[in-house]
């Protein structure tokens, strides 16, 4: 299974925001930190906002931040919401295949997908930025680590 770039950007944006809390962040700052397209990231942030995962504030002093505590953002839920298509094979999406009726592959792949998502459901955004990794992550993303540790919700 391979996640789309869209989901990758969504997860990386959430990690950045969690590390930068309680400060506001900008799409430009996030894009620069990861070396990714600002225009593509704008679409990702828009959806994260619609999902309530990111809160945006317009105007001077505006920006974006997490829409809820990192401990409440489940990685599996983010993947389900941002992946356009979790159909691993054609028959998952109702496509026609000559051997669909007797084939057991669909069931096996369905079980594998459920296991994959089940593992992701065991982790929150707080888990991704916790356990001592926050200072290293923040430093790699160019976030301030001088004297003040990044906020870990």
The answer to whether residue 99 is domain-embedded is no
76-104 pLDDT, tens digit each: 999 999 998 887 777 666 667 777 777 78
**Domain total of the chain:** 1
The answer to whether residue 80 is domain-embedded is yes
CA-nearest of 21, 109, 129, 113 to 65 is 21
Structural domain harbouring 37: 5-84+125-140
The CATH number of residue 132's host domain is 1.10.10.10
Strand partners, 56: 64
**pTM to 2 decimal places:** 0.86
Confidence of residue 120 (pLDDT cuts 50, 70, 90): very high
The answer to whether residue 61 is domain-embedded is yes
- Buried b vs exposed e over 84-102: b needs ≥16 C-beta within 10 Å? eeeebeebeeeeeeeeeee
pLDDT above 80: residue 145: no
The answer to whether residue 40 is domain-embedded is yes
11-22 pLDDT, tens digit each: 999 999 999 988
């Amino acid at each position: 299974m391979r996640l789309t770039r869209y989901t990758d950007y969504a997860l990386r944006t959430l990690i950045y925001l969690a590390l930068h809390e309680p400060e506001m962040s900008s799409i430009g700052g996030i894009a620069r930190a990861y070396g990714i397209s600002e225009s593509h990231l704008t679409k990702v942030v828009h959806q994260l906002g619609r999902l309530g995962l990111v809160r945006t504030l317009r105007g001077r002093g505006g920006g974006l931040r997490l829409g809820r505590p990192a401990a409440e953002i489940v990685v599996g839920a983010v993947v389900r919401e941002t992946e356009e298509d979790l159909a691993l094979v054609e028959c998952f999406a109702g496509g026609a295949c000559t051997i669909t009726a007797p084939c057991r592959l669909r069931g096996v792949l369905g079980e594998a997908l459920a296991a994959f998502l089940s593992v992701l459901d065991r982790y929150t955004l707080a888990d991704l930025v916790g356990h001592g990794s926050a200072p290293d992550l923040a430093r790699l993303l160019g976030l301030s680590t001088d004297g003040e540790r990044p906020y870990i919700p």
